[in-house]
Structure 1
Amino acid sequence: MKQIIFISLFCIISFESFSQNLLEESKSRCISRSSDELTVYQGDLSWNVTVEDMDKKFADIYQSGKRLQGRVEWDPSTNQFFVPLSNSDKHEKVYLKDEFILKVIGHIEEALKLNYAQYVFFPDMGHSHLLIPQELYNEKTKQYKTEDKVGYYTWMLNSSEVDFLYHTAEQLNFFDADKNLLLDRQVQWRFYTRNLVGNSSPKGSNLKIYKAIDTSANTAAESHAHGAKWWGGGFNISSSSQGCFPYKQGDKTLYFDLSLEDLPMDPNTSDVYY
Protein backbone atom coordinates (compact mmCIF):
# COMPACT_ATOMS: atom_id res chain seq x y z
CA MET A 1 0.00 0.00 0.00
CA LYS A 2 2.83 2.43 0.90
CA GLN A 3 4.49 1.68 -2.44
CA ILE A 4 1.26 2.44 -4.32
CA ILE A 5 0.82 5.71 -2.43
CA PHE A 6 4.45 6.67 -3.14
CA ILE A 7 4.06 5.95 -6.85
CA SER A 8 0.83 7.95 -6.99
CA LEU A 9 2.43 10.92 -5.25
CA PHE A 10 5.46 10.68 -7.54
CA CYS A 11 3.20 10.73 -10.61
CA ILE A 12 1.30 13.76 -9.30
CA ILE A 13 4.51 15.66 -8.49
CA SER A 14 6.05 14.68 -11.84
CA PHE A 15 2.98 15.88 -13.74
CA GLU A 16 2.87 19.19 -11.88
CA SER A 17 6.59 19.72 -12.53
CA PHE A 18 6.15 18.85 -16.20
CA SER A 19 3.16 21.19 -16.45
CA GLN A 20 5.02 24.10 -14.85
CA ASN A 21 8.09 23.65 -17.05
CA LEU A 22 6.13 23.33 -20.29
CA LEU A 23 3.90 26.33 -19.66
CA GLU A 24 6.43 28.63 -17.99
CA GLU A 25 7.46 30.13 -21.33
CA SER A 26 3.80 30.64 -22.22
CA LYS A 27 3.37 33.14 -19.40
CA SER A 28 5.59 35.62 -21.25
CA ARG A 29 4.17 34.72 -24.66
CA CYS A 30 0.51 35.11 -23.64
CA ILE A 31 0.78 38.82 -22.96
CA SER A 32 -2.23 41.08 -23.41
CA ARG A 33 -3.19 41.85 -26.97
CA SER A 34 -1.68 45.11 -28.22
CA SER A 35 -3.59 47.63 -30.31
CA ASP A 36 -1.44 46.88 -33.37
CA GLU A 37 -1.58 43.08 -33.12
CA LEU A 38 -2.66 41.52 -36.41
CA THR A 39 -5.72 39.25 -36.66
CA VAL A 40 -6.42 36.13 -38.70
CA TYR A 41 -9.52 36.90 -40.76
CA GLN A 42 -11.87 34.64 -42.68
CA GLY A 43 -10.75 36.28 -45.90
CA ASP A 44 -7.16 35.14 -45.32
CA LEU A 45 -8.26 31.58 -46.04
CA SER A 46 -9.97 29.70 -48.87
CA TRP A 47 -12.14 26.61 -49.26
CA ASN A 48 -11.50 23.54 -51.41
CA VAL A 49 -7.73 23.84 -51.41
CA THR A 50 -5.10 21.24 -52.25
CA VAL A 51 -2.58 19.83 -49.78
CA GLU A 52 0.08 21.95 -51.50
CA ASP A 53 -2.07 25.08 -51.16
CA MET A 54 -2.59 24.35 -47.47
CA ASP A 55 1.13 23.85 -46.91
CA LYS A 56 1.94 27.25 -48.42
CA LYS A 57 -0.90 29.01 -46.61
CA PHE A 58 0.18 27.58 -43.26
CA ALA A 59 3.72 28.89 -43.73
CA ASP A 60 2.35 32.31 -44.70
CA ILE A 61 -0.04 32.56 -41.75
CA TYR A 62 2.51 31.23 -39.25
CA GLN A 63 5.07 33.92 -40.09
CA SER A 64 2.58 36.73 -40.73
CA GLY A 65 2.12 37.79 -37.11
CA LYS A 66 -1.64 37.24 -37.46
CA ARG A 67 -3.22 35.76 -34.36
CA LEU A 68 -6.66 34.76 -33.15
CA GLN A 69 -8.99 37.46 -31.94
CA GLY A 70 -9.92 36.91 -28.29
CA ARG A 71 -6.93 34.65 -27.71
CA VAL A 72 -5.79 33.30 -24.34
CA GLU A 73 -3.84 35.67 -22.10
CA TRP A 74 -1.87 35.29 -18.88
CA ASP A 75 -3.23 36.99 -15.75
CA PRO A 76 -0.33 37.59 -13.32
CA SER A 77 -2.73 38.76 -10.60
CA THR A 78 -4.32 35.31 -10.37
CA ASN A 79 -1.38 33.31 -11.73
CA GLN A 80 -3.69 31.74 -14.32
CA PHE A 81 -4.34 31.69 -18.04
CA PHE A 82 -7.73 32.93 -19.19
CA VAL A 83 -9.64 33.17 -22.43
CA PRO A 84 -11.79 36.27 -23.04
CA LEU A 85 -15.52 35.71 -23.45
CA SER A 86 -17.95 38.21 -24.92
CA ASN A 87 -21.33 37.78 -23.24
CA SER A 88 -23.94 40.24 -24.45
CA ASP A 89 -22.41 43.63 -23.63
CA LYS A 90 -20.02 42.20 -21.05
CA HIS A 91 -16.40 41.21 -21.58
CA GLU A 92 -15.62 38.40 -19.17
CA LYS A 93 -12.87 35.89 -18.49
CA VAL A 94 -12.88 32.10 -18.43
CA TYR A 95 -9.96 30.90 -16.32
CA LEU A 96 -8.22 27.76 -17.57
CA LYS A 97 -6.53 24.98 -15.66
CA ASP A 98 -3.10 23.88 -16.85
CA GLU A 99 -4.63 20.43 -17.40
CA PHE A 100 -6.93 21.82 -20.09
CA ILE A 101 -4.04 23.41 -21.98
CA LEU A 102 -1.93 20.25 -21.71
CA LYS A 103 -4.91 18.23 -22.88
CA VAL A 104 -5.17 20.30 -26.06
CA ILE A 105 -1.41 20.15 -26.62
CA GLY A 106 -1.59 16.38 -26.25
CA HIS A 107 -4.38 16.15 -28.83
CA ILE A 108 -2.43 18.31 -31.28
CA GLU A 109 0.83 16.42 -30.96
CA GLU A 110 -0.77 13.00 -31.25
CA ALA A 111 -2.93 14.06 -34.21
CA LEU A 112 0.16 15.30 -36.05
CA LYS A 113 2.16 12.20 -35.16
CA LEU A 114 -0.57 9.87 -36.46
CA ASN A 115 -1.21 11.99 -39.58
CA TYR A 116 -4.77 12.76 -38.56
CA ALA A 117 -3.78 16.39 -39.11
CA GLN A 118 -0.91 18.17 -40.82
CA TYR A 119 -1.40 21.78 -39.75
CA VAL A 120 -2.83 23.56 -36.72
CA PHE A 121 -4.97 26.33 -38.17
CA PHE A 122 -8.54 26.62 -39.45
CA PRO A 123 -8.08 24.98 -42.88
CA ASP A 124 -6.99 21.78 -41.12
CA MET A 125 -7.09 21.25 -37.34
CA GLY A 126 -8.38 24.62 -36.22
CA HIS A 127 -11.72 24.34 -34.46
CA SER A 128 -13.50 22.07 -32.02
CA HIS A 129 -16.85 21.05 -30.59
CA LEU A 130 -17.50 19.71 -27.09
CA LEU A 131 -18.90 16.27 -26.23
CA ILE A 132 -20.42 16.20 -22.74
CA PRO A 133 -21.79 13.09 -21.02
CA GLN A 134 -25.55 13.61 -21.06
CA GLU A 135 -26.02 12.89 -17.34
CA LEU A 136 -23.30 15.39 -16.46
CA TYR A 137 -24.89 18.00 -18.72
CA ASN A 138 -28.30 17.44 -17.11
CA GLU A 139 -26.74 17.86 -13.68
CA LYS A 140 -24.84 21.02 -14.56
CA THR A 141 -27.82 22.73 -16.20
CA LYS A 142 -29.41 22.72 -12.75
CA GLN A 143 -26.43 24.64 -11.35
CA TYR A 144 -25.99 27.32 -14.01
CA LYS A 145 -28.41 29.79 -15.48
CA THR A 146 -28.66 29.82 -19.27
CA GLU A 147 -27.05 33.25 -19.47
CA ASP A 148 -24.08 32.22 -17.30
CA LYS A 149 -21.71 31.53 -20.18
CA VAL A 150 -18.63 31.94 -17.99
CA GLY A 151 -19.90 29.26 -15.62
CA TYR A 152 -20.66 26.88 -18.46
CA TYR A 153 -17.36 27.31 -20.26
CA THR A 154 -15.34 27.16 -17.05
CA TRP A 155 -16.58 23.70 -16.15
CA MET A 156 -16.81 22.39 -19.72
CA LEU A 157 -13.26 23.28 -20.71
CA ASN A 158 -11.73 22.27 -17.40
CA SER A 159 -13.73 19.08 -16.86
CA SER A 160 -11.90 15.76 -17.17
CA GLU A 161 -15.15 14.21 -18.41
CA VAL A 162 -15.65 16.38 -21.49
CA ASP A 163 -14.15 15.27 -24.81
CA PHE A 164 -13.26 17.54 -27.73
CA LEU A 165 -14.17 16.77 -31.32
CA TYR A 166 -11.94 18.44 -33.91
CA HIS A 167 -13.04 18.68 -37.53
CA THR A 168 -9.77 18.33 -39.42
CA ALA A 169 -9.06 18.90 -43.12
CA GLU A 170 -11.80 21.54 -42.87
CA GLN A 171 -10.97 23.37 -46.11
CA LEU A 172 -9.27 20.56 -48.02
CA ASN A 173 -10.81 19.67 -51.38
CA PHE A 174 -12.02 16.06 -51.36
CA PHE A 175 -13.94 15.82 -54.61
CA ASP A 176 -13.53 15.97 -58.38
CA ALA A 177 -15.78 17.93 -60.74
CA ASP A 178 -18.39 15.15 -60.58
CA LYS A 179 -18.48 15.19 -56.76
CA ASN A 180 -16.65 11.88 -56.54
CA LEU A 181 -14.08 11.37 -53.80
CA LEU A 182 -10.59 11.92 -55.19
CA LEU A 183 -8.47 8.81 -55.69
CA ASP A 184 -5.45 10.34 -53.98
CA ARG A 185 -4.72 8.13 -50.97
CA GLN A 186 -3.61 10.99 -48.74
CA VAL A 187 -6.81 12.90 -49.47
CA GLN A 188 -8.90 9.80 -48.81
CA TRP A 189 -7.11 9.18 -45.51
CA ARG A 190 -7.84 12.74 -44.43
CA PHE A 191 -11.48 12.37 -45.52
CA TYR A 192 -12.13 9.24 -43.47
CA THR A 193 -10.26 10.41 -40.35
CA ARG A 194 -11.52 13.98 -40.13
CA ASN A 195 -13.74 13.61 -37.04
CA LEU A 196 -11.07 13.45 -34.37
CA VAL A 197 -12.14 13.01 -30.74
CA GLY A 198 -9.65 13.66 -27.95
CA ASN A 199 -10.22 12.49 -24.41
CA SER A 200 -9.08 13.89 -21.09
CA SER A 201 -5.57 12.50 -20.77
CA PRO A 202 -3.22 15.53 -20.92
CA LYS A 203 -0.27 13.69 -22.45
CA GLY A 204 -0.26 10.52 -24.50
CA SER A 205 -3.98 10.95 -24.96
CA ASN A 206 -6.07 8.40 -26.77
CA LEU A 207 -7.69 9.72 -29.93
CA LYS A 208 -10.79 8.23 -31.50
CA ILE A 209 -12.23 8.67 -34.97
CA TYR A 210 -15.97 9.17 -35.35
CA LYS A 211 -17.68 8.38 -38.63
CA ALA A 212 -20.29 10.49 -40.39
CA ILE A 213 -20.31 8.86 -43.81
CA ASP A 214 -24.03 9.59 -44.11
CA THR A 215 -22.94 13.20 -44.77
CA SER A 216 -21.37 14.42 -47.99
CA ALA A 217 -18.10 15.52 -46.38
CA ASN A 218 -18.01 13.02 -43.49
CA THR A 219 -18.71 15.83 -41.03
CA ALA A 220 -19.80 14.65 -37.59
CA ALA A 221 -22.51 16.64 -35.85
CA GLU A 222 -25.03 16.17 -33.04
CA SER A 223 -26.47 12.96 -34.52
CA HIS A 224 -22.98 11.39 -34.51
CA ALA A 225 -22.12 12.20 -30.88
CA HIS A 226 -22.57 8.62 -29.59
CA GLY A 227 -25.08 9.67 -26.95
CA ALA A 228 -23.12 12.64 -25.65
CA LYS A 229 -24.50 16.16 -25.47
CA TRP A 230 -23.16 18.08 -28.49
CA TRP A 231 -22.00 21.62 -27.68
CA GLY A 232 -21.32 23.30 -30.99
CA GLY A 233 -19.46 26.35 -29.70
CA GLY A 234 -16.05 24.95 -28.86
CA PHE A 235 -12.68 26.65 -29.11
CA ASN A 236 -10.49 27.63 -32.05
CA ILE A 237 -6.74 27.06 -32.34
CA SER A 238 -4.31 28.65 -34.79
CA SER A 239 -0.54 28.48 -35.10
CA SER A 240 1.60 31.59 -35.04
CA SER A 241 5.31 32.20 -34.58
CA GLN A 242 4.23 34.58 -31.81
CA GLY A 243 1.66 32.16 -30.34
CA CYS A 244 1.11 31.35 -26.68
CA PHE A 245 1.53 27.62 -26.31
CA PRO A 246 4.17 25.19 -27.63
CA TYR A 247 3.64 21.94 -29.46
CA LYS A 248 6.01 19.48 -31.07
CA GLN A 249 5.81 18.45 -34.71
CA GLY A 250 8.65 16.09 -35.48
CA ASP A 251 11.82 17.76 -34.24
CA LYS A 252 10.32 21.26 -34.42
CA THR A 253 8.67 23.32 -31.70
CA LEU A 254 5.81 25.45 -32.99
CA TYR A 255 3.34 27.70 -31.18
CA PHE A 256 -0.41 28.22 -31.24
CA ASP A 257 -3.12 30.46 -29.83
CA LEU A 258 -6.54 29.45 -28.52
CA SER A 259 -9.78 31.44 -28.56
CA LEU A 260 -13.52 31.03 -28.05
CA GLU A 261 -14.23 33.39 -30.96
CA ASP A 262 -14.74 32.30 -34.56
CA LEU A 263 -12.60 33.92 -37.23
CA PRO A 264 -14.02 37.40 -37.89
CA MET A 265 -14.57 39.18 -41.16
CA ASP A 266 -11.99 41.81 -42.04
CA PRO A 267 -13.76 45.13 -41.31
CA ASN A 268 -11.62 46.86 -43.95
CA THR A 269 -12.67 44.64 -46.85
CA SER A 270 -15.84 43.30 -48.43
CA ASP A 271 -14.58 39.71 -48.51
CA VAL A 272 -17.32 37.10 -48.46
CA TYR A 273 -16.56 33.84 -46.66
CA TYR A 274 -17.70 30.67 -48.38
Structure 2
Amino acid sequence: MGLPAQAAIPGSGDEAWLREAAQRCQPAKVEEKFVYTNDFSWGMSLDDMKTKFQEIYHSGKRLKARAYFDQETGLFVLPKHETSETKKVRLTAQFLSSVKKHIESALKHGYADFVFFPDMGHSHLLLPVDFYEREIKNRPVKEQHLSYEAMFASNEIQILYHTAEQLKVLDTDNNLLADKYLQWRFFTRNLVGDNKAEANMKIYKALDTSANTTAESHAHGDKWWGGGFNISSSAEGCFAYEKGGKTFYFDISLEDLPWDSSRSQPGDFM
Protein backbone atom coordinates (compact mmCIF):
# COMPACT_ATOMS: atom_id res chain seq x y z
CA MET A 1 0.00 0.00 0.00
CA GLY A 2 1.37 3.41 -0.93
CA LEU A 3 3.42 4.50 -3.90
CA PRO A 4 7.19 5.08 -3.83
CA ALA A 5 7.85 8.66 -2.77
CA GLN A 6 10.20 9.05 -5.74
CA ALA A 7 7.38 8.31 -8.17
CA ALA A 8 6.72 11.99 -8.71
CA ILE A 9 3.61 13.00 -10.58
CA PRO A 10 4.53 13.41 -14.29
CA GLY A 11 5.01 17.05 -15.25
CA SER A 12 4.63 18.22 -11.66
CA GLY A 13 8.19 19.48 -11.33
CA ASP A 14 8.51 17.54 -8.07
CA GLU A 15 11.38 15.28 -9.15
CA ALA A 16 14.16 17.68 -8.13
CA TRP A 17 12.26 18.67 -4.99
CA LEU A 18 12.04 15.04 -3.88
CA ARG A 19 15.69 14.37 -4.70
CA GLU A 20 16.75 17.29 -2.50
CA ALA A 21 14.46 16.09 0.28
CA ALA A 22 15.92 12.58 0.10
CA GLN A 23 19.40 14.04 0.60
CA ARG A 24 18.32 16.22 3.54
CA CYS A 25 15.89 13.84 5.19
CA GLN A 26 18.08 11.51 7.23
CA PRO A 27 16.87 9.54 10.27
CA ALA A 28 16.95 11.50 13.53
CA LYS A 29 20.18 11.30 15.50
CA VAL A 30 20.20 10.53 19.21
CA GLU A 31 21.36 14.06 20.04
CA GLU A 32 18.72 15.77 17.87
CA LYS A 33 16.81 18.50 19.71
CA PHE A 34 13.00 18.59 19.71
CA VAL A 35 10.43 21.36 19.46
CA TYR A 36 8.36 21.43 22.67
CA THR A 37 4.87 22.74 23.35
CA ASN A 38 6.24 25.04 26.03
CA ASP A 39 8.61 26.69 23.60
CA PHE A 40 5.55 28.82 22.85
CA SER A 41 2.92 30.90 24.61
CA TRP A 42 -0.76 31.52 23.95
CA GLY A 43 -1.98 34.93 22.86
CA MET A 44 1.06 35.87 20.79
CA SER A 45 1.13 38.99 18.64
CA LEU A 46 2.29 38.76 15.02
CA ASP A 47 5.57 40.44 16.01
CA ASP A 48 6.03 37.91 18.82
CA MET A 49 5.36 35.10 16.37
CA LYS A 50 7.85 36.45 13.84
CA THR A 51 10.56 36.62 16.49
CA LYS A 52 9.77 33.15 17.82
CA PHE A 53 9.67 31.67 14.31
CA GLN A 54 13.18 32.90 13.56
CA GLU A 55 14.35 31.61 16.93
CA ILE A 56 12.92 28.14 16.41
CA TYR A 57 13.85 27.96 12.72
CA HIS A 58 17.55 28.45 13.43
CA SER A 59 17.65 26.58 16.76
CA GLY A 60 18.25 23.08 15.40
CA LYS A 61 15.01 21.95 17.06
CA ARG A 62 12.86 19.61 14.99
CA LEU A 63 9.70 17.57 15.37
CA LYS A 64 9.95 14.40 17.42
CA ALA A 65 9.41 11.23 15.34
CA ARG A 66 9.68 13.23 12.12
CA ALA A 67 9.60 11.78 8.62
CA TYR A 68 12.85 10.63 7.03
CA PHE A 69 14.11 8.97 3.87
CA ASP A 70 14.46 5.27 4.51
CA GLN A 71 17.48 3.93 2.61
CA GLU A 72 16.31 0.35 3.12
CA THR A 73 13.02 0.81 1.27
CA GLY A 74 13.88 3.85 -0.84
CA LEU A 75 10.82 5.64 0.54
CA PHE A 76 9.98 8.57 2.76
CA VAL A 77 8.46 7.18 5.95
CA LEU A 78 6.87 8.44 9.15
CA PRO A 79 7.53 6.60 12.43
CA LYS A 80 4.30 5.44 14.08
CA HIS A 81 4.58 4.11 17.63
CA GLU A 82 2.24 1.16 18.21
CA THR A 83 2.25 -0.71 21.52
CA SER A 84 5.85 -1.89 22.02
CA GLU A 85 7.26 -1.18 18.56
CA THR A 86 7.63 1.52 15.95
CA LYS A 87 6.17 0.93 12.51
CA LYS A 88 6.90 2.83 9.31
CA VAL A 89 4.15 4.72 7.50
CA ARG A 90 5.16 4.91 3.84
CA LEU A 91 4.47 8.27 2.19
CA THR A 92 3.62 9.01 -1.43
CA ALA A 93 4.92 11.80 -3.62
CA GLN A 94 1.36 13.00 -4.06
CA PHE A 95 0.81 13.42 -0.32
CA LEU A 96 4.13 15.21 0.23
CA SER A 97 3.51 17.52 -2.71
CA SER A 98 0.00 18.25 -1.45
CA VAL A 99 1.32 19.39 1.93
CA LYS A 100 3.97 21.58 0.29
CA LYS A 101 1.41 23.22 -1.97
CA HIS A 102 -1.04 23.74 0.89
CA ILE A 103 1.70 25.52 2.82
CA GLU A 104 2.68 27.74 -0.09
CA SER A 105 -0.93 28.58 -0.92
CA ALA A 106 -1.72 29.44 2.71
CA LEU A 107 1.28 31.73 2.97
CA LYS A 108 0.65 33.37 -0.40
CA HIS A 109 -2.98 34.20 0.34
CA GLY A 110 -2.50 35.32 3.94
CA TYR A 111 -4.24 32.34 5.53
CA ALA A 112 -1.07 31.75 7.54
CA ASP A 113 2.11 33.70 8.24
CA PHE A 114 4.37 31.02 9.72
CA VAL A 115 4.68 27.24 9.47
CA PHE A 116 5.09 26.09 13.06
CA PHE A 117 2.94 25.25 16.07
CA PRO A 118 1.67 28.76 16.99
CA ASP A 119 0.26 29.33 13.49
CA MET A 120 0.03 26.64 10.77
CA GLY A 121 1.41 23.66 12.64
CA HIS A 122 -1.13 20.84 12.88
CA SER A 123 -3.81 19.15 10.85
CA HIS A 124 -6.83 16.85 10.95
CA LEU A 125 -8.11 14.54 8.22
CA LEU A 126 -11.52 14.49 6.57
CA LEU A 127 -12.49 11.09 5.19
CA PRO A 128 -15.44 10.33 2.92
CA VAL A 129 -17.72 7.96 4.81
CA ASP A 130 -17.49 5.23 2.16
CA PHE A 131 -13.70 5.43 2.21
CA TYR A 132 -13.69 5.20 6.00
CA GLU A 133 -16.03 2.20 5.96
CA ARG A 134 -14.00 0.47 3.26
CA GLU A 135 -10.41 1.19 4.29
CA ILE A 136 -10.25 2.22 7.95
CA LYS A 137 -13.17 1.18 10.14
CA ASN A 138 -12.37 -2.51 10.60
CA ARG A 139 -8.59 -2.26 10.69
CA PRO A 140 -7.11 -3.40 14.05
CA VAL A 141 -5.48 -0.77 16.25
CA LYS A 142 -2.17 -2.63 15.95
CA GLU A 143 -2.29 -1.88 12.21
CA GLN A 144 -2.96 1.83 12.55
CA HIS A 145 0.19 2.57 10.54
CA LEU A 146 -1.57 0.91 7.60
CA SER A 147 -4.60 3.12 8.17
CA TYR A 148 -2.35 6.16 7.83
CA GLU A 149 -0.78 4.71 4.70
CA ALA A 150 -4.23 4.22 3.19
CA MET A 151 -5.30 7.75 4.08
CA PHE A 152 -2.13 9.45 2.87
CA ALA A 153 -2.16 7.44 -0.39
CA SER A 154 -5.79 8.29 -1.20
CA ASN A 155 -6.87 11.25 -3.30
CA GLU A 156 -10.31 10.97 -1.70
CA ILE A 157 -9.32 12.48 1.64
CA GLN A 158 -8.99 16.13 2.56
CA ILE A 159 -6.61 17.76 5.01
CA LEU A 160 -7.83 20.45 7.42
CA TYR A 161 -5.32 22.81 9.02
CA HIS A 162 -6.06 25.00 12.01
CA THR A 163 -4.03 28.19 11.63
CA ALA A 164 -3.62 31.18 13.97
CA GLU A 165 -3.45 28.57 16.75
CA GLN A 166 -1.79 30.85 19.31
CA LEU A 167 -2.27 34.21 17.58
CA LYS A 168 -4.03 36.81 19.72
CA VAL A 169 -7.17 37.75 17.79
CA LEU A 170 -9.66 38.14 20.67
CA ASP A 171 -9.78 40.42 23.68
CA THR A 172 -10.41 39.25 27.25
CA ASP A 173 -14.17 39.26 26.58
CA ASN A 174 -13.74 37.06 23.48
CA ASN A 175 -14.49 39.95 21.14
CA LEU A 176 -12.51 40.28 17.93
CA LEU A 177 -9.72 42.81 18.02
CA ALA A 178 -10.22 45.84 15.78
CA ASP A 179 -7.27 45.01 13.53
CA LYS A 180 -8.59 44.06 10.06
CA TYR A 181 -5.77 41.65 9.29
CA LEU A 182 -6.23 39.80 12.58
CA GLN A 183 -9.94 39.57 11.81
CA TRP A 184 -9.08 38.08 8.42
CA ARG A 185 -6.87 35.52 10.13
CA PHE A 186 -9.70 34.64 12.52
CA PHE A 187 -12.27 34.06 9.80
CA THR A 188 -9.90 32.08 7.53
CA ARG A 189 -8.28 29.83 10.13
CA ASN A 190 -9.85 26.54 9.02
CA LEU A 191 -8.06 25.65 5.79
CA VAL A 192 -9.02 22.58 3.79
CA GLY A 193 -6.99 21.14 0.92
CA ASP A 194 -7.27 17.94 -1.08
CA ASN A 195 -4.66 15.21 -1.49
CA LYS A 196 -4.18 15.63 -5.26
CA ALA A 197 -0.91 17.63 -5.26
CA GLU A 198 -2.82 20.82 -5.99
CA ALA A 199 -2.78 24.23 -4.31
CA ASN A 200 -6.57 24.64 -4.17
CA MET A 201 -7.77 25.55 -0.68
CA LYS A 202 -11.18 26.26 0.79
CA ILE A 203 -12.28 27.74 4.08
CA TYR A 204 -14.55 26.03 6.60
CA LYS A 205 -16.22 28.06 9.32
CA ALA A 206 -17.19 27.22 12.89
CA LEU A 207 -18.75 30.48 14.03
CA ASP A 208 -20.75 28.63 16.64
CA THR A 209 -17.46 28.38 18.58
CA SER A 210 -15.73 31.30 20.26
CA ALA A 211 -12.43 30.70 18.44
CA ASN A 212 -13.91 29.64 15.06
CA THR A 213 -12.37 26.19 15.51
CA THR A 214 -13.77 23.42 13.33
CA ALA A 215 -14.29 19.97 14.81
CA GLU A 216 -16.28 16.84 14.05
CA SER A 217 -19.59 18.70 13.82
CA HIS A 218 -18.16 20.93 11.06
CA ALA A 219 -16.88 18.16 8.78
CA HIS A 220 -19.52 18.69 6.07
CA GLY A 221 -20.59 15.06 6.06
CA ASP A 222 -17.09 13.58 6.15
CA LYS A 223 -15.67 11.38 8.88
CA TRP A 224 -13.48 13.46 11.21
CA TRP A 225 -10.06 11.92 11.93
CA GLY A 226 -8.61 14.00 14.73
CA GLY A 227 -5.11 12.56 14.70
CA GLY A 228 -3.59 14.26 11.69
CA PHE A 229 0.04 15.28 11.27
CA ASN A 230 2.17 18.12 12.57
CA ILE A 231 4.43 20.38 10.50
CA SER A 232 7.20 22.67 11.69
CA SER A 233 9.83 24.73 9.91
CA SER A 234 13.52 24.20 10.54
CA ALA A 235 16.66 25.30 8.71
CA GLU A 236 17.67 21.62 8.88
CA GLY A 237 14.23 20.43 7.76
CA CYS A 238 13.47 17.84 5.10
CA PHE A 239 11.11 19.45 2.64
CA ALA A 240 11.45 22.81 0.88
CA TYR A 241 8.73 25.41 0.50
CA GLU A 242 8.74 28.92 -0.94
CA LYS A 243 7.60 32.10 0.76
CA GLY A 244 8.11 35.56 -0.71
CA GLY A 245 10.80 34.33 -3.10
CA LYS A 246 12.79 32.64 -0.33
CA THR A 247 13.23 28.94 0.38
CA PHE A 248 12.43 27.49 3.79
CA TYR A 249 12.27 23.89 5.01
CA PHE A 250 9.80 21.93 7.10
CA ASP A 251 9.38 18.56 8.80
CA ILE A 252 6.33 16.32 9.24
CA SER A 253 5.45 14.10 12.22
CA LEU A 254 2.51 12.08 13.50
CA GLU A 255 3.43 12.86 17.10
CA ASP A 256 2.15 15.91 18.93
CA LEU A 257 4.72 18.24 20.42
CA PRO A 258 5.96 16.94 23.78
CA TRP A 259 6.13 19.00 26.96
CA ASP A 260 9.56 19.83 28.35
CA SER A 261 9.15 19.02 32.05
CA SER A 262 12.49 20.64 32.90
CA ARG A 263 10.84 24.05 32.44
CA SER A 264 7.95 25.42 34.45
CA GLN A 265 7.10 28.39 32.26
CA PRO A 266 5.78 28.23 28.68
CA GLY A 267 7.59 30.29 26.11
CA ASP A 268 10.99 30.06 27.80
CA PHE A 269 13.27 29.00 24.99
CA MET A 270 16.07 26.53 25.61
TM-score (norm 1): 0.91
CA RMSD of superposed structures (Å):
1.6
Q: Which residue of 1 aligns with 2:32?
A: 37
- Map 1:150-161 → 2, pairs under 5 A: 150-161=145-156
Q: Which residue of 2 aligns with 1:28?
A: 23
Distance change (3 Å), C-alpha of 1:142 and 1:53: closer
Amino acid at match of 1:72: A
CA contact (8 A) 1:43 1:266 kept: yes
How many angstroms apart in 2 are the aligned matches of 1:256 and 1:243? 5
Mean Cα deviation higher: 184-193 or 137-146: 137-146
Q: Which residue of 1 aligns with 2:212?
A: 218
How many angstroms apart in 1 are the aligned matches of 2:138 and 2:176? 46
CA contact (8 A) 1:265 1:271 kept: no
2:226 is equivalent to residue 232 of structure 1: yes
Identical positions, percent: 51
Contiguous gaps of at least 5 residues in structure 1: 1-10
TM-score (norm 2): 0.92
How many angstroms apart in 1 are the aligned matches of 2:265 and 2:130? 43
Say which one has the larger Rg: 1
How many angstroms apart in 2 are the aligned matches of 1:27 and 1:212? 38
How many angstroms apart in 1 are the aligned matches of 2:32 and 2:9? 38
Shift, 1:200, TM fit: 2.2
Moved over 6 A (4+): none
How many angstroms apart in 2 are the aligned matches of 1:196 and 1:142? 25
Amino acid at match of 1:22: W
Q: Which residue of 1 aligns with 2:238?
A: 244
How many angstroms apart in 2 are the aligned matches of 1:50 and 1:114? 19
Shift, 1:271, TM fit: 4.7
Q: Give CA deviations for 1:104-143 in whole Å, capped at 9, x if unaligned.
A: 0010001111110010001000000000001110112365
2:212 is equivalent to residue 206 of structure 1: no
2:107 is equivalent to residue 108 of structure 1: no
CA contact (8 A) 2:174 2:210 kept: no
Amino acid at match of 1:182: L
Q: Give CA deviations for 1:140-192 in whole Å, capped at 9, x if unaligned.
A: 23652233111111111121111000000000111123321101011100000
Amino acid at match of 1:237: I
Q: Which residue of 1 aligns with 2:113?
A: 118
Q: Which residue of 1 aligns with 2:11?
A: 14
CA contact (8 A) 1:105 1:246 kept: yes
How many angstroms apart in 2 are the aligned matches of 1:13 and 1:233? 31
Contiguous gaps of at least 5 residues in structure 2: 1-7
Higher helix share: 1
Shift, 1:45, TM fit: 0.6
